[in-house]
């Protein structure tokens, strides 16, 4: 089928530089869908690519379209996709794995070495009027979720995977360290699982946001020490001190899940605590198989995704959307609406 669809995309051409370009999209493969993008959340990783030009040893070396938390509407399908998918509102799972390697076949597709993940060099992301993806990774969303909520299924999937890894259940006393978008979602999912949840941060407005999002209590670790006896730590700051003090605040047989990524990937952990208390420690890398459950949980009304949205930007304003979190600590989740420039409100 032909698909000479013109696409406007915000392309990162250099550190802190974006140009809106017009591109054309190649004909769809049989399993692919063309999605008109409605909303894209700005993630901390987008901000790192944009402001530092790298994350760890991976460098942005060629023009790159950022944005991986996206929702939209299917407007065209490949030959192998049922035509009745056209018109479906979808949340886009940004990582499409190979489906053939041992990890994919074991169901651990988030660890696939050949995964193609939006906005991770050299794969382009979703700050564009349209994107092409595999039909199986465009998940239908109900009309009760708006376009921003559908986009934010992505960080919700991160949170659900982390809470699931920690096997959080009724009676748990969970410590969430870091009240950014990820910590605030982990908090809400752990509450929905029946746990009491304390949230730590060093920023007062983030702790206020945590109380508003349902924290049992909050701890300002710039002033106070963590109380002991938590059953679970879900670390969402990536800060070394939060990892070591959070582990030390766990009781015997505690479980710890590291979600936050430390900038250099190196930090020290108190091995004596891990050994003498038989702490189970693991990390998370994105998620697998979470989208359908995340969509259902969001649609149930038990997770407030709208609370995260702090500003909305057209495609022509992607630069400011990416710079905002660094300039304004109260900016939780800038959203980009790529259709806004195309169809300005009357």
Binding residues (CB under 5 A) for Zn ion: these are: 43, 97-98, 101, 104, 112
Task: Please tell me whether the peptide bond between 162 and the residue prior to it is cis, using omega within 30 degrees of 0.
Answer: no
Give the residue at shortest CB distance from ligand NAD. 180
Q: How far is the CB of 87 from ligand NAD (least distance, A)?
A: 31
- Between 10 and 226, CB nearer to ligand NAD: 226
- Between 334 and 338, CB nearer to ligand NAD: 334
Q: Please, are residues 16 and 323 in contact by the beta-carbon 8 Å criterion?
A: yes
Q: How far is the CB of 330 from ligand NAD (least distance, A)?
A: 11
Q: How far is the CB of 297 from ligand NAD (least distance, A)?
A: 17
- Between 48 and 130, CB nearer to ligand NAD: 48
- Between 72 and 94, CB nearer to ligand NAD: 94
Select the binding partner of residue 101 from Zn ion, ligand NAD, none (C-beta < 5 to 8 A, by kind).
Zn ion
Select the binding partner of residue 180 from Zn ion, ligand NAD, none (C-beta < 5 to 8 A, by kind).
ligand NAD
Token reading at 130: 């349209």
- Between 88 and 177, CB nearer to ligand NAD: 177
Q: How far is the CB of 122 from Zn ion (least distance, A)?
A: 18
Which residues of this protein are in contact with ligand NAD, per CB under 6 A? 44, 158, 177-183, 200-203, 206, 221, 236-239, 241-242, 259-261, 284-286
Select the binding partner of residue 97 from Zn ion, ligand NAD, none (C-beta < 5 to 8 A, by kind).
Zn ion
């Amino acid at each position: 089928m032909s698909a000479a669809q013109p696409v406007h995309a915000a392309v990162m051409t250099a550190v802190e530089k974006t140009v809106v370009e017009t591109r054309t999209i190649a004909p769809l493969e049989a399993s692919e869908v063309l999605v008109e993008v409605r909303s894209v959340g700005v993630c901390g990783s987008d901000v790192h690519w944009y402001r530092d030009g790298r994350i760890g040893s991976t460098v942005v070396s060629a023009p790159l379209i950022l944005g991986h938390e996206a929702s939209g509407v299917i407007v065209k399908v490949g030959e192998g996709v049922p035509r009745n998918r056209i018109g479906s509102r979808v949340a886009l799972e940004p990582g499409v794995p190979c489906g053939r390697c041992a990890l994919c076949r074991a169901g651990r597709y988030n660890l696939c070495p050949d995964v193609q993940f939006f906005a991770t060099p050299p794969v382009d992301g979703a700050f564009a009027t349209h994107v092409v993806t595999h039909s199986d990774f465009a998940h239908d969303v109900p009309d009760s979720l708006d376009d921003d909520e559908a986009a934010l299924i992505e960080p919700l999937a991160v949170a659900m995977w982390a809470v699931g890894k920690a096997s959080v259940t009724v009676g748990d006393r969970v410590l969430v360290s870091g009240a950014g978008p990820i910590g605030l979602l982990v908090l809400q999912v752990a509450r929905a699982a029946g746990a009491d949840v304390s949230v730590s941060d060093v920023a007062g407005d983030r702790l206020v946001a945590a109380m508003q999002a349902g924290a049992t209590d909050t701890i300002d670790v710039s002033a106070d020490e963590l109380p002991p006896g938590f059953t679970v730590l879900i670390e969402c700051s990536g800060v070394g001190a939060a990892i070591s003090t959070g582990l030390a605040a766990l009781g015997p047989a505690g479980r710890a899940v590291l979600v936050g990524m430390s900038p250099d990937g190196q930090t020290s952990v108190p091995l004596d605590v891990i050994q003498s208390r038989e702490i189970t420690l693991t990390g998370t890398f994105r998620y697998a198989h979470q989208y359908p459950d995340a969509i259902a949980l969001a649609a149930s009304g038990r997770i407030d995704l709208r609370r995260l949205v702090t500003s909305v930007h057209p495609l022509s304003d992607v630069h400011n959307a990416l710079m905002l979190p660094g300039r304004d600590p109260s900016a939780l989740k800038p959203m980009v609406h790529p259709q806004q420039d195309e169809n300005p409100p009357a």
